[in-house]
Every structure is written in C-alpha cells, then in structure tokens.
Structure 1
Amino acid sequence: MAIDNNNPLEQQNNPEPNGSNSEASTRRRKKPRRDGKGSNTQTNNATAKKSAGKTKRSGKGADTGSQVLATTAIDPNLALGDAADDAAAYAEGGIKAVGDQRIIPFMKIEKPMGILSIILVIGSIIAIAVNGLNLGLDFTGGVSADVRYEQSVEQGDVVNALADNGFDDAVVQYLGTSQELLIRLPPQSDNIDGLNTSLSEALALPNNNVEISNVNIIGSQVGNEVYLSSVMSIVLALACMLGYVALRFQFKLALGAVLSLFHDAIVTIGVFALFGFPFDLTVLAAILALIGYSLNDTIVVYDRIRENFRRVRGISPRQTIDLSLTETLRRTIMTISTVLLVVLAMLFLGGDGLFWFSAALFIGLLAGTYSSTYIASSIPLAMGLSRDDFIVKVKPEFEEEIVTFNDPKMFEQD
C-alpha cells in the first residue's frame, strides 16, 4: 500500500485515501492498461456506465448527466458531428449507408435522364435517316496511293497541291514517317497510267522530289461490302456483349448493358450525321473501341451492385444501386479523366489522321459515362431487380422433408 499511496496517478484517481482496498483495486483494474492489452474503448464504456449509475442514485437529472458523460467519455464531438451530418443528409435527400458511406441519390433523377436519353436516340435516328452519313472513301470507293518524298512534308501542303490541280476532297495520312504518306481520293478515271501522270504532276513540290510507289482503285462494290461488314460487326459486338453479361451476371443487367451500348453508338453516329462529319473506317474503329470501354465501365458498376445486393440488408433496391454508384464514383471520375486527357491530346496533336478518330471517342466517352450511370442501372431497376436475383435458391428436390411418425399403439391403453 505504501507504493500505491506514493503514486501520484493513483492518488489523483482515488480522492478518498481512507477507502477500502477492494474499491481501490477495482478502480485500478478499470484504468487503461499500459502494456498494450485491453481496449481503451471498453475502459471508457465501463467508466461511463459506472458514472451513470452514480448519477441515477443522485436523483434529479440522472438521465441527462449519464448521456453527457457517456458521450464525452468516448469523443466530445462525435455524437454532435454525426447528428449534424445525418440532419444535413436527410435535408438533401440522402441517407446513411454501410460503413458511414454517404449515398448520392443518383436514381432520384432517373426519369428526367431517361427522357433525355430517348430524345437523344430518336434525334440521332432522324439525323441518320434524313442527312445520312458522310461516308469516306473506305465505304464509297476511290483511289489510294502510296507516296514518298525525299524530305519531310506537311499534310496541308500536299492537300493544297492536290486541290490546285483538280483533286478535291483528298485525305492525306502519314505512314510511319513524315516522308511517307497515304493519299486517298474520290473516284477518278479507270486509266491508271494517266492517273499516275496526273498525280505526279499534282504532288510535285518545290525542291522536294516525289515518288508514287503504288496506286489502287477501289470500286463502289467493295465499299458497299465494307459498309455492310461494318454494320454487322457492330451488331455482332452488341450480341456478344449481351450473352457475356447474361452469363456473367443476370439477364436484366445484360439488357440494360446492351441498351446503354446501343445508346452510346447511335448517339455518336447521330452527331456525325447531324453535322456532316466524315465517317470512315477510323471512326468505325473508334465506335468499336467505345463499345468495349463503355462495357468495362458498366461491368465495374454491375459487380458492385451484385456484391451490395448480397451483403447489405435492410435497404431497398433503389438505395442499393445508389450505394453502388456512389462507391464506384471515384473510380469512374479517375478513369474518364485519364482517358479524356489522352483523347484530347490525340485530337489536337495527332494530326488529320487521328482527328476524327479522336472526335468520335470524345463524343462517345461522354455518352458512355452518362449511360453507365443511368441507362445501364435504371433499366434493370425498372425491370424489378432485387436481391432474389443474386441469391442461390435451394431447389425443391434438395429441401428437407418433414416426416411425422404416428404409432397407433402409442395411444392404446394397457
């Protein structure tokens, strides 16, 4: 006891020096342990309970005193902060979710977004039907020539030289270096020899000799075959995506994913038809790449939706989807930001060869991010997506059968 009485910490915690040994030992055991064992939270809770008991014995104001003491024993600002956060969340229409994760009510505006999507799709279809696509030489046919200069040359100089000699609407692309170019022209005469002579004269630049290595004439029939093959490739890609998502997740989600991919593709094509932008194989490649990117973004959201339907209890399907979209929002923002930086770099620095490819990707990325959030998630919700779609149910033949055995002899009297 001499050691305990000389300990200033013990004297501070035990103001009654004449107290009993059992009470002092009890107080020492409830102090936070210094060897790392035990929990400060448990100690604070025990202290709060003990103080609450003393307050109740004191009579008036017992409940109020115990609540304040229990709160300050853990964290003075914790309860007040949570109450303020909850009040602000409910005022804004949000709710508290798992792990104090704040849910953003994305599905609160699903109907206006759905109406906007319908308007965009209908407008794109009308633009394609009325204006048509400004098909490039890959689809309409024309002349393709491989050209090599002795020195580096600018694409704009070659286009201007061709236009001055009667070759309008020429498309010039680099082939590896700034000296080798691919030139594509609208349909010309079928006389290859005369075409070579005309091109050689048109491509001649001051102090820079030119050599035409190869000239190909692409007929309109070949262009139509390429056009049909392109349409079939898009349809086949959407069908494969439908099958993959249906097998990997659920058919309701698969239908939402395919409709969102169709939305992205048709809106991008509709913008090209509305403004008369040239549509060639590079734009088609951008649309196919867009379908793959948009599906990857949708799969990430679907995986989180499936996980939350299985592990979260007590919330509605709408809140589950809102929670999933909130949890993947940071990843979506980071992904679209990095991809858009690359696309904008190609758009402004990639030259004429990558300009329309980058423009198609830019339009499609904006539409794809929007569709992954609303179209791909709201359509399954409208179809009645629920937790039962992701829980493995026991088949009737594997359920245990309850058998009751009644022996008539048990009720017979001896």
Structure 2
Amino acid sequence: MAIEQNIPPRKENTPASNSSGGGSDGNPNDPNDKTRRRRGKPRRDGKGSNNKDSKQTSPAAGKNKTRLASKSSEALTMQTLHSDTDTDIDGKGTLDSADDNAAANAEGGIKSIGDRRIIPFMKIEKPMAILSIFLVIASIIAIAVNGLNFGLDFTGGVSTDVRYEQPAEQTEVVKALADNGFNDAVVQYLGTRQELLVRLPPQSDNIEGLNTTLGQALNLPNNTAEISNVNIIGSQVGNEVYLNSVMALGLALLSMLGYVALRFQFKLALGAVVSLFHDAIVTIGVFALFGFPFDLTVLAAILALIGYSLNDTIVVYDRIRENFRRVRGISPRQTIDLSLTETLRRTIMTISTVMLVVLAMMFLGGDGLYWFAVALFIGLIAGTYSSTYIASSIPLAMGLSRDDFVVKVKPEFEEEIVSFNDPKMFEQD
C-alpha cells in the first residue's frame, strides 16, 4: 500500500523587495531561515539604518556643525550684503531694493551687514571736528599766554643725593626743606627709602655754603642726613634739554608719518599724524592752563602717549583697509563706521586696562610718578577720542575710497584681445 506524502511545492529562491525580512514568508528570528536579506539602499557609513526616521545627530556632531556654521556665517557675512545687490567687475555695488534704502535712511544711512548693526560714528563727525579745533586753539593760546611751568630739568637748579640713617618719608623731607626756606623741592627715592634725590630751584649760595645749610635743613628728628654730592645745573643745560625735547617730538611725528604712509596709504598717514599732534598739544595745553609742573617725566609720558595712540590708530586702519577690500555695495563712510564698530570692543578693553595702571600710579606711585600719571591720564582720553574721529574723518574728507587699497593691473600687463578674420575659413569646399 502506497503512502502518499504531501510535499509542499518548492519555492523559487527569489529575493524579496522587503529589506527588513527574509522573504514573503521569511522569519528573521528563525536561525533555520536561509533566505537572504537585501537592503533597499546602501548604507552611507556602514552604521545604523537607512530609514529617514532613524537618522539622528550625535551631540558632538551637532557642536561641530554649529561651529562650522558660525565660522562660515562670519566668513560669508562680508561677501553678500543683500540678495538683490548687483556688483560689477570694478567692485562698485548698486542697491536696487527700495525697502533696503528706506531702512537705511531710517537708521541714518547705515545698513545692516549680515547679522550685525554698525554704529554711525561718522554721523557726528562735524561736531567732533569743531570740538577738536576748539581744543587745539585753546591749548595753543594757553601755552602762549601762561607758558609752561618748567621743572628743574629745563630751568636748572640744584640736585643733591641724600642718605638717611633710617627710612624717611618724602613728605617729611619736603616739609623740613620748606620750613628752612627751600621751597618747591622735589624729592624722589633712589632704590631704597633711605636714599633720596633732592632737587631745588636755583640758589644764590655757593656750593660750600649750600652744603652746610642743606645739611641742617635735611636733618629730621632722630634721623640724621648725610649729603654725598651737590650738583648745580645751569640754565644753559636746561635750554639744551628743552630744544632736544622739541626735536624729539618732531622726529617722532615725522617717523610716524613715514611709517603709516609706507604701511597703509598717505591719506591715512596724514590723519594719523594730525591725531597724534592733537593728543600731544592738548595734553601740553592742559598743563599750561592749570600750571602743572612740566619736567622730563611729563615729556616721557607724552612720548609714550604718542606710541600708544598710534598703536590704537593702526588697529583701526588695518580693519578699514580690510573692509574696503572685502565689503562691497556700501559707501566709504559706512565702511569706516563698520570698521570702528568692529574695533570698539578691543578699544574699550585696551583703554580700561591701561587706565587702571595709570590710576594706580597716580594714587599709589608717590610724588615721583604723579605728574607722569596725570599726563598719561589726559593723553589716554584725548588719544582714544582722536583715534575714533580725527584719524578716521580726515582720510574720509580727503576722498578715501576702495580704489586706494585695491591693486590695479597696469595697462602694459593687460592682455589684448586679437581676432583673426581669415577669408579661407568661410570658403566651402
């Protein structure tokens, strides 16, 4: 008797289109299921699934994308101002959107560069120019009428080195000299609090008599003074110091003019020198107006001030040159406003840190550094103001534009377009 076995029909080994299972009846969890599984699309990195719903971004990748996006946005901020800005080959842009022009006029002619808003510094250019002219004229009048209260370095006098048995205070020494008829004395420490330098106005006594009277005047209670040497500085030496000081100021200004002219452009160099002259003359004018003593320490402060002010001006000029080359579609006035806005944070941080040091010298440095710190304090205020307005407004008034910073191709290096009209080219065989 034959036994019939129900053998199921043999299925063809045809791959299924479903990427998640073995076949139409396949079980992915069955180890005996030999049906091959195929992906609908190849995986990009060999990890994870290809489904759109399962794509996730890791935190590290998100941070990297954020950083790249911020950097790219900064790099592209200055390349494109508006979508409707047309720029020609020469770099002169034209804004055709009426909405952009209306928004710019509402903001005083200042446009938005990318996501940044620029401060209209040049909007008050004329009032600041009038203020600068007034300060310079007032300073010159004060110097001509009142004159400078020159110290012993310029007028001459007596200089002596004194050593005490015990540490002495400067105020006590000045008071003791004033009680004995030696007025307007300047006392400075020489390394230690026991060694001092005493400077006095010109005296009528000779050196021998001056040693005796000074020895008696410098003696403090329970603290004897010993005079090592006495030097008499004549007026001729003071005049030489005065002339050398004026020559040093003039040479410094000429050197700055040449440096900025070679480094940037002559229009910027002229603005930098005028701003430096403004800082120096205003500081000297304040000393002449109030009768502050003017000695070599004050002169050193003015020379240091010229270097500081030039450094601040160079930072602004470097940004102006960079923006003229890369930003198109805005006027030169707006370019300068953009440059001043970008350097404003750096200027505030620099002036704040330097001012803290100057105030510390003024109130804690003693009499030897007081007038040096006062001169720096006045000059820092004038230098920050002049770097923002005088050094930037003068080149703008002289017609500063993008053409001053873009290198142009000389005519002899331009390629000529030559066309050949050969009659044989048009002949047909």
Match of 1:308 among 323, 326, 329: 323
**CA distance, structure 1, for counterparts of residue 269 and residue 391 of structure 2:** 9
Aligned residues: percent identity? Answer: 84
Q: What's the counterpart of residue 331 of structure 1? A: 346
User: What does residue range 207-356 of structure 1 map to in structure 2 within 5 Å?
Assistant: 207-356=222-371
Q: Is 2:176–2:217's contact at 8 Å kept on the other side of the alignment?
A: yes
Q: Is 1:142–1:186's contact at 8 Å kept on the other side of the alignment?
A: yes
Q: What's the counterpart of residue 114 of structure 1? A: 129
Q: What whole-Å deviation, never above 9, does each CA across 1:139-193 have from its counterpart, x for those lacking one?
A: 0000000111111111111111111111111111111111111111011136111
**CA distance, structure 1, for counterparts of residue 332 and residue 222 of structure 2:** 72
- Tell me whether 1:178 sits opposite 2:199 in the alignment: no
User: What does residue range 162-173 of structure 1 map to in structure 2 within 5 Å?
Assistant: 162-173=177-188
One-letter amino acid matched to 1:287: I
Q: Deviation at 1:319?
A: 0.7
**CA distance, structure 2, for counterparts of residue 156 and residue 282 of structure 1:** 20
One-letter amino acid matched to 1:105: P
One-letter amino acid matched to 2:305: L
**CA distance, structure 2, for counterparts of residue 88 and residue 393 of structure 1:** 34
Q: Secondary structure at the match of 1:217?
A: strand
Q: What whole-Å deviation, never above 9, does each CA across 1:24-82 have from its counterpart, x for those lacking one?
A: xxxx976583367x99xxxxxxxxxxxxxxxxxxxxxxxxxxxxxxxxxxxxxxxxxxx
Q: What's the counterpart of residue 153 of structure 1? A: 168
**CA distance, structure 2, for counterparts of residue 33 and residue 255 of structure 1:** 61
One-letter amino acid matched to 1:112: P
**CA distance, structure 1, for counterparts of residue 105 and residue 166 of structure 2:** 69
**CA distance, structure 1, for counterparts of residue 352 and residue 405 of structure 2:** 32
CA distance 1:89–1:316, shift in 2 (3 Å): closer
CA distance 1:35–1:218, shift in 2 (3 Å): closer
One-letter amino acid matched to 2:160: A
Q: Secondary structure at the match of 1:236?
A: helix
Q: Is 2:361–2:370's contact at 8 Å kept on the other side of the alignment?
A: yes
Task: Note the residue ranges of structure 1 that are not aligned, 5 or more in a row.
Answer: 5-21, 23-27, 40-85
Where is the helix percentage greater, Structure 1 or Structure 2?
Answer: 1
**CA distance, structure 1, for counterparts of residue 273 and residue 19 of structure 2:** 81
Q: What whole-Å deviation, never above 9, does each CA across 1:185-208 have from its counterpart, x for those lacking one?
A: 011136111111111011011110
Q: What's the counterpart of residue 387 of structure 2? A: 372
Q: What's the counterpart of residue 203 of structure 1? A: 218
Larger deviation, residues 171-180 vs 280-289: 171-180
Task: Note the residue ranges of structure 2 that are not aligned, 5 or more in a row.
Answer: 1-17, 22-39, 41-49, 63-100
Q: Is 1:134–1:278's contact at 8 Å kept on the other side of the alignment?
A: yes
Q: Is 1:98–1:312's contact at 8 Å kept on the other side of the alignment?
A: no
Q: What whole-Å deviation, never above 9, does each CA across 1:91-122 have from its counterpart, x for those lacking one?
A: 55374544412100000001100000000000
**CA distance, structure 1, for counterparts of residue 410 and residue 107 of structure 2:** 44
CA distance 1:166–1:371, shift in 2 (3 Å): same
**CA distance, structure 2, for counterparts of residue 255 and residue 32 of structure 1:** 64
Q: Is 1:260–1:375's contact at 8 Å kept on the other side of the alignment?
A: yes
One-letter amino acid matched to 1:200: G
Query: What TM-score results when the alignment is normalised by the length of structure 2?
Result: 0.76
Q: Is 2:103–2:111's contact at 8 Å kept on the other side of the alignment?
A: no
Q: What's the counterpart of residue 149 of structure 2? A: 134
Q: Is 1:97–1:323's contact at 8 Å kept on the other side of the alignment?
A: no
- Tell me whether 1:33 sits opposite 2:55 in the alignment: yes
Supply the RMSD in Å over aligned alpha carbons. Answer: 2.6
Q: Secondary structure at the match of 1:355?
A: helix
**CA distance, structure 2, for counterparts of residue 155 and residue 287 of structure 1:** 26
CA distance 1:92–1:398, shift in 2 (3 Å): closer
One-letter amino acid matched to 2:135: L
Q: What's the counterpart of residue 16 of structure 1? A: none
Q: Is 1:241–1:258's contact at 8 Å kept on the other side of the alignment?
A: yes
**CA distance, structure 2, for counterparts of residue 216 and residue 190 of structure 1:** 13
CA distance 1:326–1:205, shift in 2 (3 Å): same
Q: Deviation at 1:408?
A: 6.6
Query: What TM-score results when the alignment is normalised by the length of structure 1?
Result: 0.78
One-letter amino acid matched to 1:223: G
Q: Secondary structure at the match of 1:182?
A: strand
**CA distance, structure 2, for counterparts of residue 97 and residue 175 of structure 1:** 58
**CA distance, structure 1, for counterparts of residue 103 and residue 219 of structure 2:** 72
User: What does residue range 397-412 of structure 1 map to in structure 2 within 5 Å?
Assistant: 397-407=412-422
Q: What whole-Å deviation, never above 9, does each CA across 1:121-150 have from its counterpart, x for those lacking one?
A: 000000000100000000000000011111
Q: Deviation at 1:248?
A: 0.4
Count of paired positions? 346
Larger deviation, residues 391-400 vs 188-197: 188-197
Q: Deviation at 1:2?
A: 9.8
Q: Deviation at 1:401?
A: 1.8
**CA distance, structure 2, for counterparts of residue 89 and residue 400 of structure 1:** 41
